[in-house]
Amino acid sequence: MKKHIPNALTLLNLLSGSIATIFAVNNNFVVAAFFVFLGIFFDFFDGFAARKLKVQSELGLQLDSLADMVTSGLVPGIIMYKLLSLTIGTETVTSNSWTSSAIGLDFNLPLLPFLGLFITLASAYRLAQFNIDEDQQTYFKGLPTPANTLLIMSLPLIIEFQNNDAINTIILNKWFLIALTLLSCYILNSGIKLFALKFKNYGFKDNVTRYIFIILCIVLLIVLQFAAIPIIILLYILMSVLDNLTSK
């Protein structure tokens, strides 16, 4: 019976991501974010449960990546698509009409927002690479998809809750979003080694980087709320690079 517990948590991750997708498509980013956070919660604890119950399996590994493909791959792509759609207005260059009179369809869609779906493609490639890379046990190569999803998902939440016109202007600038999309695609599949929040033991000496990072995250979230998330992702990368340099 216990062998099914991790897979059940993984399926809850997939369910959460599927629900988040529906709300994101319908422009309800707050509820979508809630289910994304819930999915990431299940994603963290399915692996934790598998290790504690000693029921890790190849099926669980594949199922985990399939669930992540929705929660941490499809959803951030849709969110970026929606954000880019908000920025272009009527001045953007649009595609030619794609018309099919035979079936009565008439599409006249701007092409730029589809760039956001490159995040989905980059996430799929990153997850596939992770599954065949035997080195990524105690560290990650490139930014994990859940962390990237938190970064992208934070943008509409900052707009919704921070109420800062200067920050909103930056976020809703199409060049900023284009640059962030390309950066996101790169860093997902970069060779940068990033520490994993997996504790083999809870001693401070063996986990000093992890403990300092967690404490800084808590402080930043209390002070800056959702605006802290992009800073936390940047801090995660910088601390990982520093940790790599000091370990050498």
Per-residue confidence in pLDDT tens, the chain, 248 aa: 777 788 889 999 999 999 999 999 999 999 999 999 999 999 988 877 777 777 777 787 889 999 999 999 999 999 999 999 999 863 333 344 444 444 444 456 788 999 999 999 999 999 999 888 777 666 788 999 999 999 999 999 999 999 899 999 999 999 999 999 999 999 999 989 998 887 666 677 777 888 999 999 999 999 999 999 999 999 999 999 998 888 76
Q: If you write DSSP's letter for every residue of 162-204 in order, what string do you get?
A: T--HHHHHHHT-HHHHHHHHHHHHHHHT---EEE----SS--T
Query: Which of 154, 130, 152, 158 has its CA nearest to residue 142?
Result: 130
- Spacing of C-alpha 83 from chain mean position: 15
DSSP class of residue 241 equals H
Residue 91 phi/psi, 5-degree rounding, is -90, -10
Rg (CA), the chain: 19
Label the pairing between strands 193-195 and 98-100: unpaired
State residue 94's pLDDT score: 38
Give the amino acid at 61. L
d(CA 70, CA 144): 14
Q: What's the angle, vertex CA 70, arms to CA 226 and CA 121, rounded to 5?
A: 95
Torsion angle, CA of 134/138/143/147, rounded to 10 degrees? 120
Rounded to whole angstroms, what are the CA distances from 235 to 16, 86, 228, 238? Answer: 27, 29, 10, 5
State residue 100's pLDDT score: 43
4-197, CATH topology level: Four Helix Bundle (Hemerythrin (Met), subunit A) (1.20.120)
Domain boundaries, the chain: 4-197
Query: Which of 29, 37, 32, 120 has its CA nearest to residue 74?
Result: 120
State residue 107's pLDDT score: 56
Q: Which residues partner with 100 through β-bridges?
A: 105
Q: If you write DSSP's letter for every residue of 80-117 in order, what string do you get?
A: HHHHHHHHHTTTS-BPPPEEETTTTEEE--BSGGGGGG
